[in-house]
Amino acid sequence: MDFSHYQQLKVTQDGAVVTVTLTRPEVKNAIGEVLHHELSTIFWDLESDDSCDVVILTGADGSFSAGGDLAWVLSMHGDAVAATAAGRDARRIQNTMLDLEKPIIAKVRGPAIGLGCSLSLFCDFVYATPNAVFADPHVSVGLVAGDGGAVIWPQLIGYARARRYLLTGDHIRGSEAADIGLITEAVPDDQLDEVVAAMAARLVNGAKHAIKWTKSSINAGLKVMANSIADRATAAENLAQMTNDNRIALEAFLAKEPPKFTGT
């Protein structure tokens, strides 16, 4: 399959392993309008690519993804049409990742924040360096975790721990994330590429159809739950984008100042 039309996703292939790299290194691979839309189609395209059996998802230049591009998010404030379109793409990203029968391995260095965090956690394996940073700080910018966090965090670490991180936006390092089961394993930086490549090779050399159908069976229940939660979370996030607190927070962060919320 020809992936050359992708502008901010670099797609490379080694045998049956396809690596998808987020490539906005100048902003730590923050996700703006173009990259967001490309993420909503890439997994569907990979499902249709018969030469691909395993996908590795990573970020360029030592960062997985710093999350949503705040300038783009601010541009949607008060714009119901733009927010709805972004929400539709967010739902498509979740569903196509869950529907893709081929295993996805996240290779995480640096920040995996907001949507970047959700992207990693929706993968089937998540390998990260001990100092990688995971967080879903939607509440810090006056938003609801509508792009997957409300779905996946409770399933991985339970509701009590998920509330601890989703209601505060606090960060968690890769080593602790592995200890509590949020990710698969924390791996020293100089071993990360080798460990991910070894797992990809093991999956490629395994019983391909059994692996694919087992993944789809595991995800069947998660997808039902994800869609029911995502409907509410996406709608709530769209509402939150109409609030003053969201605008205040985004403007403050862009100005590198702490936000002063008003509760409106």
How many domains would you assign to the chain? 1
Q: Is residue 43 part of a domain?
A: yes
Q: Is residue 223 part of a domain?
A: no
Q: How confident is the model at residue 238 (pLDDT cuts 50, 70, 90)?
A: confident
DSSP secondary structure of 50-79:
TT-SEEEEEESTT-SB--B-HHHHHHTTT-
pLDDT at position 80:
84
Q: Is residue 21 part of a domain?
A: yes
Provide mean pLDDT across the span 23-28.
Answer: 97
Least confident piece of the model among 39-48, 82-91, 208-217, 221-230? 221-230
pLDDT at position 239:
86
Task: Give the alpha-carbon dihedral of 181, 17, 27, 170, to 10 degrees.
Answer: 0
Q: Is residue 24 part of a domain?
A: yes
Q: Is residue 216 part of a domain?
A: no
Least confident piece of the model among 9-18, 69-78, 95-104? 69-78
Model confidence at 40: pLDDT above 90? yes
pLDDT at position 132:
98
Q: Is residue 88 part of a domain?
A: yes
At 124-141, the pLDDT tens digits run: 999 999 999 999 999 999
**Domain at 79, CATH number:** 3.90.226.10
pLDDT at position 227:
80
60: containing domain: 9-189
Q: Is residue 91 part of a domain?
A: yes
- C-alpha span between 52 and 70 (Å, rounded): 34
Q: Is residue 249 part of a domain?
A: no
- Triad 144, 150, 153: Cα angle to 5°: 135
At 101-123, the pLDDT tens digits run: 999 999 999 999 999 999 999 99
Q: How confident is the model at residue 68 (pLDDT cuts 50, 70, 90)?
A: very high
Provide mean pLDDT across the span 90-97.
Answer: 94
